[in-house]
Amino acid sequence: MTKASVHQVLVGSAGLCITLGLPAVAAAKGPENDETVAAAKASKLFKRELKRDQLQAAGLGQITLSPGVQLDVQGFVQATALDARPEITPLLDPKLPAGLLRGAPIYREAILELEDRLVVDRKLTIDLAPGACARADKPAAIADLCFTRNPAKKLSKAKNADLLAIRAKLAKSAPETIVRGTVTAAQASSMTDEELFDLLINTGARTIHQISVVPRLNIKADAVDVAGLRGFGGKLVAAAVDPGLVVSCPPTRAPS
């Protein structure tokens, strides 16, 4: 019996998708990964949602990909968890300098069982404190969540239009309304465009979202593409292939 390693069978693993949790005055488009998860749950192939510690009891600790080839699902989920990634673990360190985050990061993980595949859904939410991105003592893990703007370049017409719309909404808000952290609508209204833009993009929640779609049978490399793996309208087509087949979904990042 051959056991496929975590790295051998990482099929349909999406890249990290970082989304901004903007305040009520600025809405953000939902990420593609959320749409994929919703489609999986709505599919006629969907069976149930499980937690990592329920896999063994559900008979999914290991799954057979093809005769003689097994995948250690329990090990795969554990090894690919966001809170186990070396570039993310510093955010979970109790020794992280105070004042960088407004609360402890929240990690959510679910395994969706469908008739012909598993969808591993992982989300880590990090709430940046106001001014965190401007601090010189911020670790690399925090810096990676910050957005910078080239001071030599003026804001685009689209960004200026966004700021005008935001200022209009701020003007209609009660002065004491909290916009971000402890910053009120009155304080935000008095900021320069650069200060307001920085407040909106570099304060508040970041959500790191990663999903993996793992077929419960082997598939030919040319039999299904990334869209096929994320299409839950019908079953995948079985075919014997090299158990080392890796098909990766392209990384997504929104909005920037």
Show the tokens assigned to 128.
Answer: 């940046």
Residue-wise pLDDT for 187-207, tens only, equals 988 888 878 877 888 888 888
Find, among 218, 223, 216, the residue nearest to 243 by Cα. Answer: 218
Strands of the chain (E only): list them: 2-4, 17-21, 46-50, 62-66, 69-72, 106-114, 117-128, 178-180, 183-184, 204-215
Instruction: Tell me the pTM.
Output: 0.71
Mean pLDDT of 101-128: 92
Is the pLDDT at 81 greater than 60? The verdict is: yes
Rounded Cα–Cα distance for residues 245 and 209 (Å): 24
Burial class (CB in 10 A: 0-12, 13-18, 19+), 23: buried
Is the pLDDT at 68 greater than 60? The verdict is: yes
Q: Report how far apart, in Å, the C-alpha atoms of 194 and of each of 132, 135, 171, 203 are.
A: 16, 17, 18, 14
Show the tokens assigned to 5.
Answer: 């390693």
Residue 38: what pLDDT? Answer: 92
Cα Dmax for the chain: 68
Residue 50: what pLDDT? Answer: 97
C-beta of residue 121 within 8 angstroms of C-beta of residue 112:
yes
Residues forming beta bridges with residue 214, ordered by sequence position: 118
The string over 217-244, giving b where at least 16 C-beta atoms fall within 10 Å of a residue's C-beta and e elsewhere, is: bbbeeeebeeeebbebeeebebeeeebe
Residue 155 carries which DSSP code?
P
Q: Are strands 204-215 and 183-184 parallel, antiparallel or unpaired?
A: unpaired
Burial class (CB in 10 A: 0-12, 13-18, 19+), 128: buried
Is the pLDDT at 219 greater than 60? The verdict is: no
Residue-wise pLDDT for 132-166, tens only, equals 888 888 999 999 888 877 777 777 777 778 888 88
